[in-house]
Structure 1
Amino acid sequence: MKNNIIIPKSSLDFLTQLKENNNKVWFDANKPKYLEELNHIETFAGALLQELSKTDVLETASGKKSVYRIYRDIRFAKDKTPFKTFWGGSFTRATSQRRGGYYFHLEKGNSFFAGGFWGPNAGDLKRVRSEFAHDSKPMQKILKSKIFVSTFGTLQGEQLKTAPKGYDVTHEAIDLLRYKQFLIIKRFTDDEVLSPDFLNLALETCQNMRPFFDYMSEVLTTDVNGASII
């Protein structure tokens, strides 16, 4: 894929300045600069959405709609700084048949793409665990594949210290059964984010999430007998 959509260095530099001046007075004075950099991020997100939509079905309407607001919700937060100091956004997969979603986080020294299941409800978690207990081989095959390992390394997320209720600590799939979250993350250096090839790298990363998403979608839309529940 050829493209000339890049994220300029100024987009990351603006965040550094915002981190040093995280107050409304400074932000209001630099609002034109913020809008200029936001446009770069929205343009990049729109280009990625367009390419990703060629191989997946997404309900996110546009790059602009995918990017999160810069304003923090500080009503119940100990940290009262009013603005986020990163560019963040997500693409939602369409219909109840497609589970998982793509998330991006751009920040100097801390940029990554991620996907998965941050807070699965009790029903979903129970269903996934029952599948792992029944046959963990399909998931293990995905996690050990060359593409998964080279892109994401390992499955991440919060885990129980012991076995979940109803399962023995000696279960052959105990390493998977302990997970309470199912996250896959690919980190990028600043040089990668600012390179002309970053759109391609981001697209490839999202596409490499698909075997994981497709497996989890199949599990979460069927019962233990494999019959559809949607």
Structure 2
Amino acid sequence: MKNDIIIPQSSLDFLTQLKENNNKPWFDEHKSEYLIELNHIQNFADALLKELSKSDVLETQSGKKSVYRIYRDIRFSKDKTPFKTYWGGSYTRATSARRGGYYFHLEKGNSFFAGGFWGPNAADLKRIRSEFAHDPESFREILNSKSFVNNFGTLQGEQLKTSPKGFDADHEAIDLLRYKQFLVIKRFTDDEVLSPLFLEKALEAFKNMRPFFDYMSEVLSTDVNGASVL
């Protein structure tokens, strides 16, 4: 793996300056600096995509296409600042892997890599919950594994405050059944992000998500009887 693909200090510093000057005149004046830093991020994202593609099937075509636009959609937001103050991007897992995806967020003091299902549709959510209700232990085994706990801590995501429709509040798996999103997150310090080994560490974080993804892929590609639906 190439260790000359790095996130330079200047890429984080630019975000700090942008946060202090989040307006179009300043951005236009510093557009050339932005393009230089964007190129660094795209090169990193491309290198990570190529490495990750060796062990997973992804629909994202390039690092450039994975990186989000810096421009915010402010049409329905009370916050009218025009620019994002982080570098972000994602890789979409192929339909054959039953969706889900990887996400990266680079920001001074708040960098993390995540994976999972941000907005599963109603049918997928129902299927996942039916599996939890039938056999919660298989998923708990993944969540309680040393690798998962050391890397991600706990499963994250929005949860219902009450029990989902069709399930009793005292169900043995109610803690899992309440989830509406299924996310795993690995955080990194600024020193780790700027390290020559960061590409390797980022890839490792994504690879450590695979037991979680493999479980979800198995569930979403079968019916309640275990028969394939693909």
TM-score, shorter chain, exceeding 0.5: yes
What's 1:129 paired with? Answer: 129
CA distance in 2, matches of 1:173, 1:18: 45
1:226 CA displacement: 0.9
Partner amino acid, structure 2, of 1:207: K
CA distance in 2, matches of 1:94, 1:175: 29
TM-score, structure 1 normalization: 0.97
1:122 CA displacement: 1.3
CA distance in 2, matches of 1:71, 1:56: 30
User: Is contact 1:115–1:209 with CA below 8 Å preserved after alignment?
Assistant: yes
- The residue correspondences of 1:30-69 to structure 2 (distance < 5 A) are 30-69=30-69
Q: Deviations over 1:24-69 (max 9, x none)?
A: 1110110000000000000110110111111111111111111000
CA distance in 2, matches of 1:176, 1:76: 32
CA distance in 1, matches of 2:63, 2:98: 20
1:96 CA displacement: 3.6
CA distance in 2, matches of 1:55, 1:138: 23
- The residue correspondences of 1:58-137 to structure 2 (distance < 5 A) are 58-137=58-137
Q: Deviations over 1:112-170 (max 9, x none)?
A: 00111111111111110000000011111110111111110000011112221211122
CA distance in 2, matches of 1:220, 1:55: 20
Q: Any gaps of 5 or more consecutive residues in structure 2?
A: none
Partner amino acid, structure 2, of 1:37: E
User: Is contact 1:70–1:83 with CA below 8 Å preserved after alignment?
Assistant: yes
Matching of residue 156 in structure 1 with residue 156 in structure 2: yes
1:2 CA displacement: 4.8
Matching of residue 210 in structure 1 with residue 210 in structure 2: yes
What's 2:5 paired with? Answer: 5
1:98 CA displacement: 3.6
SS of match in other structure, 1:78: coil
Partner amino acid, structure 2, of 1:61: Q
User: Is contact 2:70–2:84 with CA below 8 Å preserved after alignment?
Assistant: yes
TM-score, structure 2 normalization: 0.97
1:99 CA displacement: 2.6
- Which stretch of the first structure deviates more once superposed, 4-13 or 166-175? 166-175
- Give the 4+ runs in structure 1 shifted more than 3 A: none
